[in-house]
């Protein structure tokens, strides 16, 4: 009998290798200051790390409950309630996953059928379309546009139709740093209610904001029953490698998420879930000082980018700053990012990976206009990037359109 080795499945071929893996590898190869992949270059709070070590020695070494360690489900629900959202049943409505990325996958695979459409907002976190593809669904897109990245409600109303299963929103937004206004969230909610579709709300940056506290769309009238809210420990506690995430959704939608989650990972890492349960009861002062530190890092990052001749957009939340690369004479964002990492010694993310290609597999010029700098970094890292960015010189000959 012969077998044929086909390689990558057709539905995943368009996605290639994740831009984060590519840029992290180039950063290491060139010894670049890494402002690419969004992970802090400092460690999480010592008391949370100690709790993790204690849990490893205290008999948390085996699989836990598939839906999450009971104390973590309770802590997620308690934090949600403490923020004045609504009462959540920890066992019926909270599911703990292996980071928010698994929660996104479980949501799509568990709730989207072939033929269903999912509306994404460009620029988007790159795992959204890949997970829709794994579920066999079809992506439709609307776009946030520079300079204000306002939510395109009219485009959304046009993109939503009888096959729409879900609209994915993310606020604070990776990569633009937008925090959706109450009016924008109400607009999305109105469209979702009228279409009878779900909303998937990725809120992993919910504690990193610089103006108004972001709202959860699930708290708007008629939205609780149709919203899946996703979040995680990683950004709030600077422990992205712990991969502790969760979903909050009404029981009927939770059933779909769990149907997939049990076969994806079965459960997250047990001792880290135990420690995460303690971390989530951190006092408000922890979150306030996190924000104060991020406010300073944002100020520093913007200063360094401006000194280099870039014109960054000011993020309202998240730990990313976007800037157009147009003044520097490169053909597109990928060429600019390659120049930056190999010649200047600073790694940043070319944002074209956050836009859907057209039918011919290529992306339009607007999709290639931006690069993303992560400022979840020590001040000395941001300063070192600043030193290197001095080598960046605006081109006397910008490319012709
Ligand atoms: N969320 C992180 C970022 O946007 C990346 C996570 C990952 O590498 N998959 O940079």
Tokens of 245: 């995430």
Tell me the pLDDT tens digit for each residue of 137-196.
999 999 999 999 999 999 999 999 999 999 999 999 999 999 999 999 999 999 999 999
Ligand 1 pocket test target in 125, 129, 373 with most atoms within 8 Å of CB: 125
Tokens of 181: 């206004």
Q: Is the pLDDT of residue 400 over 80?
A: no
pLDDT score for 5: 73
Is the distance from CB of 81 to CB of 88 less than 8 angstroms?
A: yes
| Angle, CA 209 vertex, CA 203 and CA 214 arms, to 5° | 50
Tokens of 393: 């010189």
In this structure, the residue with its CA closest to atom 7 of ligand 1 is 20
Location of structure tokens 């009971």? 70
Judged on CB neighbours under 10 Å (0-12, 13-18, 19+), 73 is: buried
Q: What is the DSSP string of 260-294?
A: HHHHHTSS--HHHHHHHHHHTT--HHHHHHHHHHH
* Ligand 1 in reach of 95 Cβ (< 6 A): no
Q: Is the pLDDT of residue 311 over 50?
A: yes
Average pLDDT, the chain: 95
Tell me the pLDDT tens digit for each residue of 293-307.
999 999 999 999 999
CA of 385 to the centre of ligand 1 (A): 20
In this structure, the residue with its CA closest to atom 1 of ligand 1 is 38
pLDDT score for 2: 58
- Give the integer Cα–Cα distance in Å for 307 and 394: 12
Three-state DSSP state, 223? coil
Mean pLDDT, range 7-24, rounded to an integer: 90
Task: Enter the pTM of the model.
Answer: 0.96
For residue 33, give the H/E element and its range.
Answer: strand 33-34
pLDDT score for 43: 96
Q: Is the pLDDT of residue 242 over 80?
A: yes
CA distances, 386 to each of 175, 298, 307, 372, 376 (Å): 20, 13, 8, 15, 15
CA of 20 to the centre of ligand 1 (A): 6
Tokens of 149: 């990245």
Contacts of 339 by beta carbon, 8 Å cutoff, 6+ apart: 328, 330
133, 135, 140, 145: CA torsion to nearest 10:
-70
pLDDT score for 3: 63
Q: Is the pLDDT of residue 396 over 90?
A: no
Is the distance from CB of 312 to CB of 328 less than 8 angstroms?
A: no
CA of 2 to the centre of ligand 1 (A): 40
Local confidence band at 395 (pLDDT 50, 70, 90 cut-offs): confident
Q: Is the pLDDT of residue 399 over 90?
A: no
Ligand 1 atom closest to the CA of 20, numbered from 1: 8
Which domains are delineated in the chain?
10-44+285-389 (3.90.1150.10), 62-279 (3.40.640.10)
Q: Is the pLDDT of residue 1 over 60?
A: no
In this structure, the residue with its CA closest to atom 10 of ligand 1 is 38
Tell me the pLDDT tens digit for each residue of 90-144.
999 999 999 999 999 999 999 999 999 999 999 999 999 999 999 999 999 999 9
Q: What is the DSSP string of 105-168?
A: HHHHHHH--TT-EEEEEES--THHHHHHHHHT-EEEEEE--TTT----HHHHHHH--TTEEEEE
Strand partners, 245: 97, 232
- CB-CB neighbours of 360 under 10 Å: 6
- Give the integer Cα–Cα distance in Å for 130 and 12: 7
Local confidence band at 401 (pLDDT 50, 70, 90 cut-offs): very low
* Ligand 1 in reach of 240 Cβ (< 6 A): no
CA of 314 to the centre of ligand 1 (A): 20
Q: Pick the closest to residue 238 from 366, 377, 68 (CA basis).
A: 377
pLDDT score for 16: 86
């Amino acid at each position: 009998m012969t077998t044929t080795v086909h390689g990558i499945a057709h539905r995943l071929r368009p996605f290639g290798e994740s831009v984060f893996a590519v840029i992290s590898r180039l950063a290491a190869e060139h010894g670049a200051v890494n402002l690419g992949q969004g992970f802090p270059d400092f460690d999480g709070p010592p008391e949370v790390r100690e709790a993790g070590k204690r849990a490893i020695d205290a008999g948390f070494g085996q699989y836990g409950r598939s839906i999450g360690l009971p104390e973590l489900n309770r802590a997620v629900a308690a934090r949600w309630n403490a923020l004045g959202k609504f009462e959540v049943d920890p066992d019926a409505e909270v599911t703990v996953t292996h980071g928010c990325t698994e929660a996104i996958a479980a949501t799509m695979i568990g709730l989207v059928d072939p033929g269903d459409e999912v509306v994404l907002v460009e620029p988007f976190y790159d795992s959204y379309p890949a997970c829709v593809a794994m579920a066999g669904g079809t992506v439709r897109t609307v776009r946030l546009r520079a300079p204000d990245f306002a939510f395109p409600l009219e485009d959304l109303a046009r993109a939503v139709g009888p096959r729409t299963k879900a609209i994915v929103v993310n606020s604070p937004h990776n990569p633009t740093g937008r925090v959706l206004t109450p009016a924008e969230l109400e607009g999305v909610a109105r469209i979702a209610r009228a279409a009878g579709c779900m909303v998937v709300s990725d809120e992993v940056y919910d504690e990193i904001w610089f103006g108004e506290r972001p709202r959860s769309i699930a708290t708007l009238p008629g939205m609780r029953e149709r919203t899946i809210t996703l979040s995680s420990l990683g950004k709030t506690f600077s422990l992205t490698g712990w991969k502790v995430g969760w979903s909050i959704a009404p029981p009927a939608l939770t059933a779909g998420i769990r149907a997939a989650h049990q076969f994806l990972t079965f459960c997250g890492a047990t001792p880290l879930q135990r420690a995460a349960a303690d971390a989530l009861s951190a006092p408000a002062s922890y979150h306030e000082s996190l924000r104060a530190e991020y406010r300073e890092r944002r100020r520093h990052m913007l200063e360094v980018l401006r000194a280099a001749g870039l014109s960054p957009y000011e993020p309202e939340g998240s730990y990313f700053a976007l800037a157009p690369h147009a003044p520097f004479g490169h053909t597109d964002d990928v060429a600019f990012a390659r120049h930056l990492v190999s010649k200047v010694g600073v790694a940043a993310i070319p944002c074209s990976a956050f836009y859907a290609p057209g039918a011919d597999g290529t992306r339009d010029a607007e999709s290639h206009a931006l690069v993303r700098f992560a400022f979840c970094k020590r001040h000395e890292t941001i300063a070192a990037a600043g030193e290197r960015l001095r080598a960046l010189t605006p081109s006397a000959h910008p490319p012709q359109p």
